[in-house]
Amino acid sequence: MEDLKGPHNIFRMIRMGATLERTGAMPVVLEAFDAPRPLRILARTLVWPFKWLGKRGDLELPPPARALSALGPAYIKFGQVLSTRPDLVGNDLALQLRILQDKLPPFPTSAAKRMVEEELGQPLEVIFDDFSEPVAAASIAQVHKARLRETGDTVAIKVLRPRIERAFQRDIDVFYFVANFIEVFSPGSRRLKPRDVIEHFEGVVKGELDLRLESASASEFAANTKDDAGFTLPKIIWEHSSRRVMTMSWAEGVPLGDNAAIDALGHNRDELGTRVLQLFLNHALRDGFFHADMHQGNLKVAPNGDIIAFDFGIMGHIDDYTRRVYAEILYGFIKRDYKRVAEVHFEAGYVPADRDVEEFARALRAVGEPIFGMDASRISMGKLLSYLFEVTERFGMETRTELILLQRTMVVVEGVARSLSPQLNIWDVAHPIVEDYIKNALGPRALMNDLVKTLRVVARFGPRLPNLVEKALAAQAASAVAPPPSRLGLKIATTAILSASCAGLAAYLLLS
- How far is Cα 244 from Cα 241, in angstroms, rounded to an integer? 8
Q: What are the Cα distances from residue 433, in Å, to 244, 277, 327, 427?
A: 37, 10, 10, 10
β-bridge pairing 254-255 and 245-249: unpaired
Q: What is the DSSP string of 390-448?
A: HHHHHTTPPP-HHHHHHHHHHHHHHHHHHHH-TT--HHHHHHHHHHHHHHHHHSHHHHH
Segment holding 314, helix H or strand E: none
Q: Which of 54, 66, 74 is nearest to 96 (CA)?
A: 66
293 catalytic residue (yes or no):
yes
What's the CA gap between 231 and 291, in Å, rounded? 13
Query: In angstroms, what CA-CA distances link 191 with 295, 426, 438?
Result: 30, 31, 31
Q: What is the 3-state secondary structure (H, E, C) of 280-300?
A: HHHHHHHHCEEECCCCHHHEE
For the chain, the residue count is 512
Catalytic residue among 227, 293, 306, 356: 293
CB 306 within 8 A of CB 281: no
300/496 Cα distance (integer angstroms): 59
Task: Give dist(CA 451, CA 449) in Å, integer.
Answer: 5
**Residue 59: phi, psi to the nearest 5?**
-65, -15
End-to-end Cα separation, the chain, in angstroms? 62
Which helix (DSSP H) or strand (DSSP E) does residue 330 occupy? helix 320-334
CA 495 to chain centre: 46
Cβ proximity of 112 and 245 under 8 Å? no
Rounded-to-integer distance, Cα 491 and Cα 486, Å: 9
Helices (H) and strands (E) counted in the chain, each on its own, are 23, 11
Asked if 448 and 512 count as a contact pair (C-beta separation under 8 A), the reply is yes
Catalytic residues: 293
